[in-house]
Amino acid sequence: MASVTFEKVHKKFGDLTIINSLDIEVQDKEFLVLVGPSGCGKTTALRLLAGLEEITGGEIKIGDRLVNDVAPKDRDIAMVFQSYALYPHLSVYDNMAFGLKLRKTPKEEIKRRVSEAADILGIQDLLQRKPRQLSGGQRQRVAVGRAIVREPKVFLFDEPLSNLDAKLRVQMRAEISKLHQRLQTTFIYVTHDQTEAMTMASRIAVINKGDLQQLDTPQNLYDHPNNLFVAGFIGSPSMNFFPAKIVKSGNSMIVDTEDFKVQIPDSLSGPYKNMEGKSVVFGIRPENIHDPEFAPNNIHGEKVASKVDVTELMGNETLLYLVSGKNTYVGRVDPRSKLRVGSQTQFIFDMDKFHIFDAETEKAIR
């Protein structure tokens, strides 16, 4: 078992900078997820840790050991790729045992490790099959099993579920989480899917354009995003944003988007008292926008007149795509809502759960 440390790590390909001074400390036995849009540098960070790419600057440590110049095979890590990369001519058993055979591990030890990994993953009855005889989910389990038999200090996962269908992805998410609990080993997992990140991680590192935007627990990222990018990336549907100004009305602070105005609750207005006239971005999540018929009673509700443009009836919830003047936004409302396309009403914004960002720096103002 081991911690992992990225200290001022950066990576360039020619003149192109992929990672800028990355500082992350992954705790021993932690499940850390690196998340961000395609091309943000998250897979490159994983490949630097694995030794598959040469570091341009900074230090990477596994435990207390500096591994910048250590060969990949000597870093005591195991990696599961997006591509299953199974040998088609070998059985499942031989695919899982291949790396151990290269290391001249004794046959009895190989048999023990493969058998234990197969038990953990529920693939004992597949050991004599060839990869072509397996489904996508079974192939992915074999790829994970090949990593488990290594008994490494750190497991690295590079978007391992992206080739699976939606139902199987949900199932494999749960299985990988259970695997982490059982093995009690450090997991570092790369994905662009924020749902995977939220459901699996102990902590999430959000990366954009090679920069670490925020490193925190899933719930803190969701409730307290540091900036506009994190707020928009975490959550599905994503947070609604409205260009606005802070204005004062008597002793109250108001968010004015030109198309509508909402009052900040007095108990939360402290940080905005000296911001009169400042350009900001007002943010509110879809689940904090309510059909007035089903709005909770115990919230600071502000009314916003809007028209329903599109409806998505999901069964357990209804998504409403709404228009207020030049602003369009999404509300996630009670599935009993009778509002349909063309309906106009005063939607209720829960002002206990709003976000405000500086329009210039895009940083959260709390």
Tally the residues of the chain: 366
**Of residues 254 and 274, more confidently modeled:** 254
The letter for the amino acid at 210 is: G
Residue 122 has pLDDT above 80, yes or no: yes
**Mean pLDDT value of segment 335-362:** 96
> What gap in Å lies between CA 89 and CA 161, rounded to an integer?
23
Please give the pLDDT value at position 243: 97
Helical segments of 89-135, H only:
92-102, 107-121
* Residue ranges per structural domain of the chain: 4-233, 240-358
**Which residues, in sequence order, are CB contacts of 193 under 8 Å at separation 6+?**
35, 161, 162
pLDDT tens digits, one per residue of 54-73:
999 999 999 999 999 999 98
For residue 241, give every residue at least 6 positions away whose Cβ sits within 8 Å of its Cβ, in sequence order, or none: 228, 231, 232, 281, 282, 283, 357
Q: Nearest to residue 356, comparing CAs of 248, 234, 236, 225?
A: 225
Cα separation, 316 vs 318, in Å, equals 7
CATH architecture of residue range(s) 4-233: 3-Layer(aba) Sandwich (3.40)
CA-based max dimension of the chain: 81
Q: Which candidate, 366, 41, 56, places its Cα nearest to that of 226? A: 366
Where are the strands (E) in 266-334, listed by range?
279-284, 289-290, 301-313, 318-324, 327-333
Q: What is the pLDDT of residue 137?
A: 86
Cα angle 303-305-310, degrees, rounded to a multiple of 5 = 120
CA gap 95, 150 in Å, rounded: 12
Whether residue 44 has pLDDT greater than 80: yes
**Does the pLDDT of residue 83 top 90, yes or no?**
no
Task: Examine domains 4-233 and 240-358 and report if their fold is the same.
Answer: no
Q: How far is CA 180 from CA 152, 200, 301, in A?
A: 13, 10, 42
Quick check: helix, strand or coil at residue 80? strand
Residue 257 pLDDT exceeds 70: yes
* Res 269 pLDDT > 80: yes
* Confidence (pLDDT) at 92: 94
Least confident piece of the model among 51-65, 130-144, 301-315: 130-144
Specify the pLDDT at position 120. Answer: 86
CA distance 286 to 302: 14
Residue 338, H or E segment:
none
Give residue-wise pLDDT tens across range 111-121: 999 999 998 88
Average pLDDT rounded to a whole number, residues 269-287:
94
Asked if residue 309 has pLDDT above 70, the reply is yes
Report residue 254 as tokens: 């108001």
In single-letter form, the type of residue at position 203 comes to R
> DSSP secondary structure string, 137-163?
HHHHHHHHHHHHTT--SEEEEESTTTT
The CATH code belonging to domain 240-358 is 2.40.50.140
**Do 226 and 213 meet the contact criterion of CB atoms below 8 Å apart?**
yes
This prediction's pTM: 0.91
pLDDT > 90 in the chain, percent: 82
Distance CA 254, CA 307 (A): 22
- Express each pLDDT in 166-212 by its tens digit: 888 888 898 899 999 988 999 999 998 888 999 999 999 999 999 99
Residue 359 has pLDDT above 70, yes or no: yes
pLDDT score, position 324: 96
Report, as an integer, the average pLDDT of 327-350.
96
DSSP state of 227: B
Q: 1 pLDDT band (50/70/90 cuts)?
A: low
- Give the number of C-alpha atoms closer than 13 A to the C-alpha of residue 137, restricted to the C-beta side: 15
